[in-house]
């Protein structure tokens, strides 16, 4: 009888053991990180045994959800504004904020177009449009759009194209317009351009023409040790290969 009981206990421990250790970590991340983060997270799940769930949305929507009490452990935003937003409201773990990734801004065209343009101060973007529209994320509300406008302003091309833009709901929507040939040119992140076969990169905007595109990461209050481990992993050299494969730069 005793040996049966012992056997049962051991069996339970064996079954419950890994399950007791395994955790579900909820990550809120900007939409533009989707493919890259999904790949990294899956690899992490295999090695760590933890489960990683990622919710992708526009950074502002995520920030508001966190404010409303969403049980996320990690928040990766597409710009600094919305990390500041949650920090100011005391929702983050002090000292956990770091810049995780960087990105580039590129000018794209449909894959079958022959447009050749060099981005330099005073370059004639308006002429290259030939009367049609430039697709980009809405500069009024989307970070990618704000970066694009800033770049054009600093290079002197904004005033001539201001009235010829097609402000899309997101940077992916802008990408879609170019991919379908609706717009002859568009401004998106390098990572988006690489993800879409139907567009080609015409040129890259100089890093100095716009505020640095950073993706800050922060741990939120109540994050478990497992979440902390994941955050560390995302910033580690182990994850670098994946990030760079998708076109991101690791923040120094």
Which residues here bind another protein, judged by CB under 8 A? 60, 133, 135, 138, 140-142, 165-169, 173-174, 176-177, 180-183
Minimum Å gap between C-beta 74 and another protein is: 24
Question: Please, what is the angle between helix 143-155 and helix 171-179, to 10°?
Answer: 70
- Cα 243 to Cα 53: distance, rounded to the nearest angstrom: 18
The neighbour count for residue 110, using CB atoms within 10 Å, is 20
Choose among 223, 218, 213: nearest CA to 235: 218
Query: Which of residues 177 and 246 has its CB atom nearest to another protein in the complex?
Result: 177
Give the Cα-Cα-Cα angle 21, 24, 26 (nearest 5 degrees): 145
Minimum Å gap between C-beta 183 and another protein is: 8
Minimum Å gap between C-beta 240 and another protein is: 33
Minimum Å gap between C-beta 181 and another protein is: 5
Query: Which of residues 179 and 231 has its CB atom nearest to another protein in the complex?
Result: 179
Query: Which of residues 107 and 136 has its CB atom nearest to another protein in the complex?
Result: 136
Query: Which of residues 175 and 234 has its CB atom nearest to another protein in the complex?
Result: 175
Minimum Å gap between C-beta 166 and another protein is: 4
Tokens of 154: 């600093």
| Burial call 52-71: b when 16+ CB within 10 Å, e when fewer | bebebebbbebbebbeeebe
């Amino acid at each position: 009888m005793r040996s049966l009981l012992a056997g049962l206990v051991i069996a339970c421990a064996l079954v419950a053991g890994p399950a007791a250790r395994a955790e579900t970590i909820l990550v809120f991340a900007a939409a533009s990180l989707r493919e890259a983060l999904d790949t990294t997270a899956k690899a992490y799940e295999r090695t760590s045994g933890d489960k990683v769930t990622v919710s992708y949305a526009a950074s502002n929507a995520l920030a508001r959800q966190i404010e409303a009490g969403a049980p996320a452990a990690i928040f990766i935003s597409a710009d600094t504004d919305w990390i500041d937003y949650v920090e100011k409201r005391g929702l983050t773990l002090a000292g956990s904020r770091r810049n995780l990734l960087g990105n580039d801004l590129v000018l794209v065209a449909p894959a079958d177009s022959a447009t050749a343009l060099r981005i330099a101060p005073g370059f004639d973007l308006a002429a290259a449009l030939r009367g049609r529209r430039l697709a980009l994320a809405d500069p009024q509300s989307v970070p990618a759009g704000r970066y694009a406008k800033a770049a054009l302003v600093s290079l002197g091309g904004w005033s001539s194209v201001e009235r010829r833009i097609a402000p899309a709901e997101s940077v992916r929507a802008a990408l879609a317009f170019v991919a379908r040939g609706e717009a002859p040119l568009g401004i998106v992140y390098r990572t988006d351009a690489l993800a879409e076969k139907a567009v080609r990169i015409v040129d890259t905007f100089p890093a100095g023409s716009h505020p640095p595109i950073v993706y800050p990461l922060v741990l939120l209050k109540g994050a478990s040790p497992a979440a902390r481990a994941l955050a560390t992993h995302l910033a580690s050299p182990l994850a670098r290969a994946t990030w760079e494969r998708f076109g991101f730069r690791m923040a120094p």
